[in-house]
Amino acid sequence: MSGIAVLAIDGPSASGKGSVAQRVADALGFAYLDSGALYRLSALAAKQAGVVWSDELGVACIAAALDVRFEVGLTLLNGRDVSAQIRSEEIGVGASQIAAFAVVRQALLARQRDFALAPGLVADGRDMGSVVFPQAELKIYLTASAKVRAERRYAQLIGRGDAADLAAITHDLQERDARDAARAEAPLRQWPDALLLETSDLSLDQVVEQVISWWKTRS
């Protein structure tokens, strides 16, 4: 990882950081890490193996042994495309639950750092700038109001043809925010060295442009 440029984007669920990070990575010619996908994959793999999400050590063992490949537009678990499965609300809740466990986070730490490849990496998650890549050259905390994030998630689900309830999604996001912020291990928060980017009133293009501008003018 030494000498490899890293741009870390953290923020709450449904803040749009994944879409932003992917677009920025493409624009800069950097590798991209969706750290949340690793937690979602761990939650899905645990469910498939009959391991309950409250079993810290059991889930950690699952996470450490994940057979995962990321290809263009696809996420493969044990050779099978699970791109849609890991984006379900149920798996999202499971990912948030297991992410609170220190042993699970430790099991995935080295795997996340392995994504740092030349010429650089754009990584998004909850603790990219604080724990996984503390020496990142640029750290951004990307957020939006719970109302806006819920509306975005609702539109995303409806667009995929899934059933969705806006009130339930809003409630779930607020609970997930509270759980992520209160956990003892790598809590979600804006750290002092991260730039705040509030996106409630910005388009995706505007957010991407701002991030790239900050990267080009970083000190």
Cβ atoms of 187 and 180 within 8 Å: the answer is: yes
Task: Give first-to-last CA distance, the chain, whole Å.
Answer: 20
Calculate the dihedral angle through the C-alpha atoms of 146, 151, 154, 159, rounding to the nearest 10 degrees: -140
Name the binding residues for ATP: 11-19
Report the distance separating Cα 77 and Cα 127, nearest Å.
23
**Cα angle 92, 73, 27; round to 5:** 105
Q: Rounded to whole angstroms, how far apart are CA atoms 208 and 211?
A: 5
What is the residue whose two structure tokens read 């990219």? 128
What's the rounded Cα separation, in Å, for the pair 205 and 158? 22
List all residues 6 or more positions away from 40 whose beta carbon is below 8 Å from its beta carbon: 86, 87, 91, 92, 94, 95
- Does residue 11 contact residue 199 with C-beta atoms inside 8 Å? no
Distance (Å, rounded) from C-alpha 124 to C-alpha 97? 18
Residue ranges of the binding site: 11-19
